[in-house]
A and B are shown apart, each in its own frame.
Chain A
Amino acid sequence: MATATFRVWRGDAKGGKFQDFVMEVAPGMVVLDAIHEIQSSQANDLAVRWNCKAGKCGSCSAEINGMPKLMCMTRLSQLPLEKPITVEPMRSFPLVKDLVTDVSWNFRVKEQIKPFRPRKPDAPDGTWRMDQKDVDRVQEFRKCIECFLCQDVCHVLRNHHLYDQFIGPRFFVYAAALEMHPLDVEDRLKDLRKTQGIGFCNITKCCTKVCPESIHITDNAIIPLKERVVDQFYDPLKKLFRVFQGDK
């Protein structure tokens, strides 16, 4: 059986370093298996966050050989095993310990986005009618497993640290899902422009590239939202209308 070296980040908020672990690899193994193996036989206190081990919960995000990925969906057979495989925590969030980061910022951001508000039911029994094709578009966004890998990779957060002014790709997807929801009647465009920083996104598409759910974050969510923002705020007629409504 082949062996491989895993170069795993060990440390906490105060600092840390890589530690090498050598182990045997079995067919079909994913990176999370290797981390578990290390945890059970070599380092009982190695911290890692995971739940489903099936790519469904978005807990096991990390940077593997520098690439933001889910550990449970990254097979060793896709990695060059002759070199050490580096496994690091997501670098855009504060480190808790080893591979675990503090992602609570994301949960706080979500609370600031106006919730779903449906139109009045279509039928007397309180239900609605929707076409599958209108639902399809939003279902793409609702596949999001909140792994926050897109947040991790976005330079506006990673390099420019605009956590107070920019909600990040995950929450543009979330806002798009609400804005394009066939039943929703809420307006979130002003917030997107003013406090949620959609203008900071310069469409580099890095987020789309790392999304494990293959959501077309930029093309299907961010760009249409930007267009709506532009339409609403820079369309002269609508602008005039807003002046009368007293909205600035």
Chain B
Amino acid sequence: MAEYETHQHDVLVIGAGGAGLRAAIEASAAGVSVGVVTKSLLGKAHTVMAEGGIAAALANVDDRDNWKVHFADTMRGGQYLNNPRMAQLHAQEAPARVRELEAWGALFDRTQDGRILQRNFGGHKYPRLAHVGDRTGLEMIRTLQDHGIHQGIDVHMECTIVTLLKDGDRVAGAFGYDRERGRFKLFQAKAVVLATGGIGRAYKVTSNSWEYTGDGLALAYHAGATLMDMEFVQFHPTGMVWPPSVRGILVTEGVRGEGGILLNKDKRRFMFDDIPPLYKNQTADNPEEGWRYTQGDKNAKRPPELLTRDHVARCIVREVKEGRGSPHGGVFLDISWIKEKLPNAAEHIKKKLPSMYHQFKQLADIDITQEPMEVGPTVHYVMGGVRVDADTQMSDVPGLFAAGECGAGLHGANRLGGNSLSDLLVFGKRAGEYAACFAKEHSAVSVNPDEVEAAARQALEPFERESGEGPFQVQHDLQNMMQDWVGIVRREEELEKALSQIPVLWERWRKVSVGGNREYNPGWHTALDLRNLLTVSEAITRAALERKESRGAHFRDDYPAKDESFAKVHMTIRKGPDGEMRISREPASEIPADLQQIIEEMK
């Protein structure tokens, strides 16, 4: 018999990033008992890394902004594959969620008249991102953390969930281990909110931390929920490329928002060479107009550097592929040029982009106020995730909710920058609210001790295997494979090769062995995370193979154009009766007439 500690909560929130904390605060306010589990310490979740800002149509800087414009921008960015109801709720509720942060102590940068300042970002028509320099995520997570610790929430830090438990169809709790001692913990709960973030660690070059192993997606999938839109993985156009050890670390879009330009090795501003028709009307005609836009000229259109991320990333790949890249396989991002325009440019840059200044100075010996940076695409975000109901965030499994990056629907085929932090707040709150309702309305559940026993046994298997390879090698090979074959530009043969490799990697995973004991043992943790990474990698590969067109973040070299027959179709993934992964095409939700009208008006 395995030993474990048991905890009881009405609502269990898995994840303590923006979405998880916001959900926990809301559920707790509804008067139910709430537990939060997180793999790392409180305040360290990925949300802490967000830089640019939170998108919300506050209209503090440009009074032409309102939720309709934000809604239309989000839908255009997502190539209309977004769940329209989610995009609507998001645009409508984001301003209130941002103001609420201020009431809890967040200190955003200010406008001249003392209100929350907003900045430009790719794909947003007006300056819309509430921000704090380039450390908005830190401000957000710290505000939620410092508010949350006084709400009577039980926090289980450095505890990893390895499986969800069910009672019949309903979710009944979760099972995991604490990292420190490796002891098992059983959480019984009437409702569970997944807020586990993304999947970036499936790739070699990523801006994501070790936590991003797709746990929530895999947990939900194995519990019978549906995954959707997995082919849409966002490559952020600007990650660091040099030196090797920092490859992938994010360079915020804020650099371009403040006037940074992209150049190839011939100093050509190549982004002007390829502007997609959907955005022709919104893009500056020349560099001068682009500059004026970044400096707040309301009559100017945005520079092409601020086109959507998928497009900018592919333009960079093209420059590199055609031999016009920078010395280390990227392109140049230059903000120092603004000294031609501003008298105290160096000070201005340091004030507006302090962490970027530091990051390059410390990690790459580059002074961004004086010289250009080298940048290239990096895996950043997954639009796909657990399919949920737009209003309640409940998945197909009763009592199981998902919010934040691990949920799907809001962003469609491509996410706009800044729309994630607002997503966390809006849908984190909703998930918490409805999870609390669900817990109040439903009777207690019980967990099956045999299921718990089986989960414990499986978790300990890597220790029992005498000889086998270590988990890190399998992880590296998976990351390389995904990077090479299921990356930013995809084609049939490579996707097929990846698909045929996945069973081989699963087989290797089944034989992985780890040394040492259960106390804070990264080898063991990695072995357990690998199961999730393999599950999501397979889902991404299958979905990418199935979508035989290019749309948003998904680009197929062999089908480079959009195909109308895929325009209103989602790829959904479920676990089949024999444990095999099943993919199907499902129609997207119809855009209601009133929302369609908004889209038309904003074209």
Contacts and interface: CB of A to CB of B under 8 A. Distances in A.
A139 B102 contact: no
B157 interface: yes
A173 B323 CA distance: 50
Interface stretch (A111-119, A151-159, A224-232): A111-119
Interface in A113-128: 115-116, 118, 121, 126-128
Contact of A59 (B40, B115, B471, B523): B40
B158 to A, nearest CB: 8
Interface residues of A, number: 60
B362 A75 contact: yes
A181 B105 contact: yes
B590 interface: no
Contact of A75 (B99, B146, B363): B363
B472 A39 contact: yes
B107 A59 contact: no
Given A28-B245, A142-B139, A55 B358 contact: yes
A53 B208 CA distance: 9
A45 B522 contact: yes
B472 A12 contact: no
B279 interface: no
A184 B355 CA distance: 27
A103 B180 CA distance: 12
Given A44-B523, A52-B48, A115-B146, A28 B246 contact: yes
Given A28-B245, A135-B110, A55 B362 contact: yes
Contact of A47 (B105, B114, B246, B520): B520
A135 B139 CA distance: 13
Interface string B29-50: 0000000000011111110110
B183 to A, nearest CB: 13
B135 interface: yes
A127 B103 CA distance: 8
B41 A45 contact: no
B48 A111 contact: no
B43 A146 contact: yes
Interface string A53-78: 11111110000000000000101000
B243 A27 contact: yes
A214 to B, nearest CB: 9
Main secondary structure of the interface of A (DSSP, over half): loop
Contacts of B249: 53-54
Given A73-B362, A118-B105, A131-B110, A27 B244 contact: yes
Interface string B93-136: 00000010011110111100111100000000000000011010
Interface stretch (B298-306, B393-401, B511-519): B511-519
Interface stretch (A92-100, A201-209, A215-223, A235-243): A92-100
Given A39-B522, A47-B519, A54-B359, 12 more contacts: A40-B476, A45-B522, A45-B524, A47-B521, A55-B359, A56-B49, A97-B519, A107-B157, A135-B110, A143-B135, A181-B105, A183-B105
Interface of A: 12, 26-30, 33, 39-41, 44-59, 73, 75, 96-98, 100, 102-104, 107, 110-111, 115-116, 118, 121, 126-132, 135, 138-139, 142-143, 145-146, 178, 181, 183-184
Closest 5 CB pairs of A and B: A28-B243, A45-B516, A44-B523, A129-B114, A116-B105
Interface of B: 40-46, 48-49, 99, 102-105, 107-110, 113-116, 132-133, 135, 137-139, 142, 146-147, 149-150, 157, 180, 209-211, 242-246, 249-250, 355, 358-359, 362-364, 470-473, 476, 514-517, 519-524
13 contacts: A30-B245, A44-B514, A47-B519, A52-B46, A52-B209, A56-B355, A97-B519, A107-B157, A115-B147, A115-B150, A118-B105, A130-B110, A183-B105
